[in-house]
Amino acid sequence: MKKSLLIKNGIVVTASDKYNADIYIEDEKVHTIGKNLNFSADKTINAEGMYLFPGGIDPHTHMELPFMGTYASDTFESGTLAGLYGGTTTIIDFAIQTQGESLKKALDLWHKKADGNAVSDYAFHMGVTDFNKNTQKEIKDICEKDGISSFKVFMAYKGVLMVDDRQIIGLMKEAGKYGAIVISHCENGDLIDELISEAKTKGDLSPRYHYLTHPEIAEAEATGRIIDMAYDGGHPLYIVHLTCEGALNQVREATKRNQKINVETCIQYLLLDESLYESPDFEGSKWVMSPPLRKEKDRVALWNGINQGLLHTVATDHCPFCMDQKKMGLNDFSKIPNGMPGIEHRMELLFSEGVLKNKISLNKFVELTSTNAARIFGMFPKKGTIAPGSDADIVIFDPNINHTISVKTHHHNCDYSAFEGWKVNGKCKTVILRGTPVVEDDQALIGKGFGKYIKRSSHNKEYSKEMELSKIKV
Ligand code: URP
Ligand code: ZN
Ligand code: ZN
């Protein structure tokens, strides 16, 4: 017997449309969208006055990441469940190679952590920290057999994750053969290393020095450099967690030669700023992440960049560490594990602070939270939209429920909230993943292992055409 669900009287919002309709779901997929549908279904939900958004896709998470001598505190089970409470039905996590080891080894390890544990759907980007003759040979199978069409490089974290430019160029060429995209953490790792050692020599050791040793110029320089490498080879590029005006201007500059760069920012860079690093009693460590929070002028630039079409996704870079873990850097900011929690609040915060404060439209909200990630990373239209044949990943969103974010109520496995006390208007009331209501009125209805691994293709054909156009040099 096929499982079915009927959602009545909702306001369907996609990246391009907004209309009142019913949605009939059968066998995990959207079957029919229309007015006054009278299918008989196993369950009917009345969504009058509610928005129906495509399930969120967070294209940047780090569950259980081994990092800086410890592990990110959310497992695939706890982190994806937290995501579901906040409307994120699919994540793309990073399977990160250990330098000196194979890509396959990292991928196997990430499958071991996620398979049978993740509660939401999940996919992987492959993090390449050591591109050499051996890893080069692994790229084809990873694309064609493992369903991974994005390869990440770090231009920072020297000695652990950082690669040099030669490796980036090699990876771009190899990944390009299989229609895959290179994605990048853009910061000049050498400059940052030098600034950190200067600060330590002077005895400047508090969390604020994390901010001061990761300046805007380090991000802007690396952003411009990798954009040039991509342009030279005619390769597609996705920049993760862009935070500042200087880096955004590098993206803007590239458009003048008709280069299209795909760019992500994160919810924290849109809403928080560097004044938090002044917080007393080591509190500033809660927001130690790379790149760091920036200035007010950067937040303004990012919101404008969204509406200028320069930024395409809003992710979280969800990488939580509890306070005991943060305290590894109590006497030395460079030992504070980098990262913060956020997956549960990305969509509600962006709705409340973006849509309701007239910074972005409802359609833009959908683009940023799901559609663009699905398109860029080869999951569209299975994910990222509400259309017949698509996975029935739907958020029934009540714009009239107000709530306050707190560590007391969140589902992150983290003993603080980076958004403690933020008042949010609008709530994910019911979250549906492949036709099954998975969260309803703050209650999880499913558990461990409900999530499926999503194999991804290279960019869809329409998208490839855009990339072809962006390769034409003037
Ligand atoms: O501080 C951060 N962002 N931690 C996670 C690793 C990364 O750079 O994305
Ligand atoms: Zn990063
Ligand atoms: Zn990250």
> Tokens in use for 332?
């030395």
Q: Whose CA is nearest to atom 1 of ligand 1?
A: 289
The verdict on residue 279 lying in a domain is yes
Mean pLDDT of 383-390: 98
Q: Is 249 exposed, middle or buried (0-12, 13-18, 19+ CB in 10 A)?
A: middle
326 and 285 in contact (C-beta within 8 Å)?
yes
Q: Whose CA is nearest to atom 4 of ligand 1?
A: 339
User: What DSSP line would sit under 337-402, residue for residue?
Assistant: PP-B--TTTHHHHIIIIIITTTSS-HHHHHIIIIIHHHHHTT-TTTSSS--TTSB--EEEEEEEEE
3-class DSSP state of 92: strand
Is the omega angle on the peptide bond into residue 437 within 30 degrees of 0, that is, cis? Answer: no
Mean pLDDT of 235-260: 97
CA atoms within 13 A on the CB side of 356: 17
The verdict on residue 452 lying in a domain is no
Angstrom distance (rounded) from CA 1 to CA 35: 25
Q: Is 376 exposed, middle or buried (0-12, 13-18, 19+ CB in 10 A)?
A: buried
60 alpha carbon – ligand 2 mean position (Å): 9
* % of the chain at pLDDT higher than 90: 96
- Phi and psi, residue 11, nearest 5°: -110, 105
Taking the CA of 91 as reference, the closest ligand is: 3
Q: Whose CA is nearest to atom 9 of ligand 1?
A: 317
pLDDT in tens, 397-448: 999 999 999 999 999 999 999 999 999 999 999 999 999 999 999 999 999 9
Q: Evaluate if residue 222 carries a pLDDT over 90.
A: yes
pLDDT band at 321 (very low <50, low <70, confident <90, very high): very high
Q: Mutation test of ligand 1: which of 60, 192, 319 has the most ligand atoms closer than 8 Å to its C-beta? A: 319
Mean pLDDT of 319-343: 98
Angstrom distance (rounded) from CA 110 to CA 59: 16
The verdict on residue 301 lying in a domain is yes
14 alpha carbon – ligand 3 mean position (Å): 27
The verdict on residue 9 lying in a domain is no
119 and 80 in contact (C-beta within 8 Å)?
yes
The pLDDT assigned to 465 comes to 55
Domain of 121, CATH number, reads 3.20.20.140
Mean pLDDT of 21-38: 98
Q: Evaluate if residue 460 carries a pLDDT over 60.
A: no
Taking the CA of 66 as reference, the closest ligand is: 1
Q: Evaluate if residue 297 carries a pLDDT over 50.
A: yes
Q: Evaluate if residue 394 carries a pLDDT over 80.
A: yes
3-class DSSP state of 449: coil
The verdict on residue 78 lying in a domain is yes
Angstrom distance (rounded) from CA 146 to CA 124: 9
Mean pLDDT of 116-124: 98
The pLDDT assigned to 2 comes to 86
> Tokens in use for 55?
């399930």
The verdict on residue 37 lying in a domain is no
The verdict on residue 432 lying in a domain is no
The verdict on residue 93 lying in a domain is yes
pLDDT band at 474 (very low <50, low <70, confident <90, very high): very low
269 and 302 in contact (C-beta within 8 Å)?
yes
Number of domains, the chain: 1
Give the domain extent around 180: 56-376
273 and 299 in contact (C-beta within 8 Å)?
yes
Ligand 1 atom closest to the CA of 338, numbered from 1:
1
- Phi and psi, residue 211, nearest 5°: -60, -45
Mean pLDDT of 314-325: 98
